[in-house]
A and B are shown apart, each in its own frame.
Chain A
């Protein structure tokens, strides 16, 4: 079983500058372990940048990001954190199985253990029938599932998934969220970004980002209760309106 006693991620005083833009002007955040935490917000709100900070590939201006008790990007975290980028990052000229197996080898799986992990993962993302096909011959949704499989194969303690359900049909989306739930129940921590507000209800906890700041950090029930809205989309709009009203009728950029 995973150790889910402490928080999975602690972000403190985080600032990120990209080009001339201060894309994250300041974030303090604690992501509990063993839960599915949804990172929600419109395009450009800093979701991907925050995720890059958590996996340790983002150069940060100031602040600290602590993952599973270690500074983000530490060597000890490299087989414990799985990362799936928004655009699929897999090898188009390799078969589905070869892709997943290679990323399995990268985190140290070998022999029978590797084969079992690859077979299990292909079943989880529903690609068993496509296992021997080259990724370049797949559809966009299938390709993003290969990318997801490449992170799942190592069963990392923390999974950071940047919009993993984009372009997938409703059945597959439901199945993937069931899988995320299953992983969290077994002690894995998941950070899943989405701009589909419907998916918010499948999370244990929601972090709403806007313009690189945390707008709200609460449970789905609290979100609906606080805003009095009927669904997550309306709740998010209500929060933004409230925030805009507070900051004097106009949003800062």
Chain B
């Protein structure tokens, strides 16, 4: 690993994103629109305060998963990845470059979405607002790491996009948003225990309901960080310098 190569890669990824203004607009605007819709649907009930924070964590993960899996698939197909790996650029520099670039992008997304949810939609959480942003950024980096991993199994961009429901929807169903995890059938609860989104949503639920959530949130974020590390380690196995 080489810090300068990581910075060079994240700078390059951000420059690429910058040329695609419509993608930037979608990344920023879509979560706000969906949060606004949700607040409107549950107008006059306490539901939005309960699930709004969790969704603030789900959006960045989904968006970054798709963006990362498609862009790394392009790198594999265009030959730029193979070419980069013939230079001193390491797999770690490449992956951390992506994680840092999309982490930065998701920080902007999280700040705007959180601000919109709180000041426009009237989201009321017990814990500190900055912690919402921190958890959202962790979720975004998790999405990037899972996207890097998933792109290793995709041969076409169609497949890469289909991996979103395949990788993420089961996690969404089991993360405790629809039914609290401890009320699920035992087997499903076990499954939800080994899925990263469950811990991301647990952290957001702590912030929603607990006035002093930092300790509990740090525990959940530790688990999310371990999943990020695991996904990146597995993803690095799919980035091989040599191919047949």
Quote the shortest CB–CB distance from A109 to chain B (angstroms): 10
Q: Does A18 contact B (CB under 8 A)?
A: yes
Q: What's the interface size class on B, roughly?
A: 20 to 34
Please report the C-alpha to C-alpha distance between residue A93 and residue B11 in the assembled complex, in whole angstroms. Answer: 13
Quote the shortest CB–CB distance from B204 to chain A (angstroms): 33
Please report the C-alpha to C-alpha distance between residue A105 and residue B4 in the assembled complex, in whole angstroms. Answer: 8
Contact A59 B244 (CB under 8 A): yes
Quote the shortest CB–CB distance from A133 to chain B (angstroms): 11
Which A residue sits closest to B88, measured CB to CB? Answer: A78
Task: Report which of A58, A59, A91, A103 forms a contact with B87, defined as CB distance below 8 A.
Answer: A103
Q: Which residues of B contact A79 (CB under 8 A)?
A: 87-88
Please report the C-alpha to C-alpha distance between residue A176 and residue B8 in the assembled complex, in whole angstroms. Answer: 29
Quote the shortest CB–CB distance from B21 to chain A (angstroms): 11
Q: Which residues of B contact A78 (CB under 8 A)?
A: 86-88
Instruction: Decide: A106 near B243, CB < 8 A? Known: A78-B87, A85-B79, A90-B80.
Output: no
Which B residue sits closest to A110, measured CB to CB? Answer: B4
Interface centre among A73, A75, A79, A93 (most CB of B within 10 A): A93
Q: Which of A92-130 contact B (CB under 8 A)?
A: 92-94, 98, 102-103, 105-108, 110
Please report the C-alpha to C-alpha distance between residue A55 and residue B82 in the assembled complex, in whole angstroms. Answer: 10
Q: Does A134 contact B (CB under 8 A)?
A: yes
Contact B87 A107 (CB under 8 A): yes
Please report the C-alpha to C-alpha distance between residue A81 and residue B4 in the assembled complex, in whole angstroms. Answer: 20
Instruction: Decide: A98 near B4, CB < 8 A? Known: A57-B85, A93-B20, A106-B87.
Output: no
Instruction: Decide: A94 near B244, CB < 8 A? Known: A87-B79, A105-B4.
Output: no
Which B residue sits closest to A150, measured CB to CB? Answer: B83
Please report the C-alpha to C-alpha distance between residue A79 and residue B5 in the assembled complex, in whole angstroms. Answer: 13
Which B residue sits closest to A92, measured CB to CB? Answer: B78
Q: Does A56 contact B (CB under 8 A)?
A: yes
Q: Which residues of A contact B8 (CB under 8 A)?
A: 102, 105-106
Contact A106 B241 (CB under 8 A): no
Task: Report which of B15, B79, B83, B85 forms a contact with A98, defined as CB distance below 8 A.
Answer: B15
Please report the C-alpha to C-alpha distance between residue A131 and residue B206 in the assembled complex, in whole angstroms. Answer: 51
Contact B15 A57 (CB under 8 A): no
Sample (9) of A-B pairs whose CB atoms are under 8 Å apart: A56-B242, A73-B86, A78-B87, A94-B16, A94-B19, A103-B87, A106-B88, A107-B87, A110-B4
